[in-house]
Amino acid sequence: MSVSKGKILIVDDEQYIRELLIQEFSSLGYDVLYAVDGQDAASKITSNKFNIVISDIKMPKFDGISLLKVIKEKSPETEVIMMTGHATIDNALYAMRSGAYDFLQKPFNIDELSALVEKAIEKSELKILVALYESSTAIFSSVKLEELFPIFISLLKNATLSKDVSIFLKDAQGQMYLATSSVPMFDSSRGALESFILKIYQDRPDNSEPLIVNADNIKKEFSEIFDSVIEIRCVLVFPLVFTGKVVGCLLFTKTSNDATFTQSDLKNILVFAAQIMQSINNTKLYEKLEIKIAELQATLLDLETAKEEIKSLKEVSSCP
């Protein structure tokens, strides 16, 4: 499984700078996109989730500071590294006050920038994980899965920018079934996704490692299943493991041509997987408790009935 170290957007109107940074960070294992100016970058921000944006400050039409404000509004967890050949202390301070992670002056040292990106990636991932943990802890106090599943689906879609998310669980016979999905009930892709999961876990029923299937492998290995769902470009299967056993999985799909899943995505999903498994376990315990309470209530009712019958018999026997 090939997993990107993170997703980076390079924004610069100078082609040789873009090509240098694309080559450098692609070789280091990052998924790299580029934009030729601020407007181009702003449109990409709305349709992609980036860990890092490396942007020039001085650009035509839409400068780097304006872009920084857009990024912090639409994707506050994304870290932004600013660079310029026209550096001033005022520019640097303003960029930092506006939310930039750091500031570099051109010409820059590529090793220094690479080290800066690694630190920024760590900060970005930490911010996302903290936000996910806090939001999930606040709402996962419910013990009813039918109430929790829509929340899980919504948060997972937002966290990974996936087109669709599905949750599969194993039944008593160990067979995967679709527990819930963001795919509409009668959508043709729903059946394809179910067939895909059944095939995957037929071949590897106890494999607890995540599986990423990209467009080439979809066409080569699963063309029969996905033939009618040509818009799916990337699929991620993330096993749900409880007490060492695979008890279900999460299924994510993406449709854009540059779709991918990153190490950051896998870390974020891991937070949810733990919450989902705990919620399922809590639900089972709650259901057992409800059954026990119902049994006790029935017993108490029987006792009350018996007491009334005894009381009636005593009253009848005491009559002359």
CATH, domain range 140-285: 3.30.450.40
Confidence of residue 81 (pLDDT cuts 50, 70, 90): very high
CB–CB of 37/60 below 8 Å? Answer: yes
Judge whether residue 224 has pLDDT over 60.
Answer: yes
pLDDT attached to residue 162: 87
Residue 169 CA to residue 250 CA, distance in Å, equals 9
d(CA 172, CA 145): 18
Sign of CA dihedral 161, 164, 169, 174: negative
**CA 308 from centroid of its chain's CA atoms:** 59
Q: Find out whether 11 and 35 touch, Cβ atoms under 8 Å.
A: yes
Cα separation, 222 vs 130, in Å, equals 37
Domains 7-129 and 140-285 share a fold: no
- Closest residue by Cα to residue 281 from 237, 241, 238: 241
pTM: 0.58
Of the pLDDT bands very low, low, confident and very high (cuts 50, 70, 90), residue 289 is very low
Confidence of residue 184 (pLDDT cuts 50, 70, 90): confident
How far does CA 211 lie from the centroid of its chain?
A: 15
User: What's the token pair of residue 32?
Assistant: 């790299």
Half-sphere exposure of 260 (CA within 13 A, CB side): 19
Task: Classify domain 7-129 by CATH architecture.
Answer: 3-Layer(aba) Sandwich (3.40)
Give residue limits of the domains in the chain: 7-129, 140-285
Hey, CA dihedral for 247, 236, 253, 278, is it positive or negative? positive
Confidence class for position 142, pLDDT limits 50, 70, 90: low
Among the residue ranges 23-32, 159-168, 188-197, 306-315, the one predicted with the least confidence is 306-315
What is the three-class DSSP state of 59? coil
* Residue whose entry in the numeric block shows the structure tokens 């506050």: 76
pLDDT for the residue numbered 169: 87
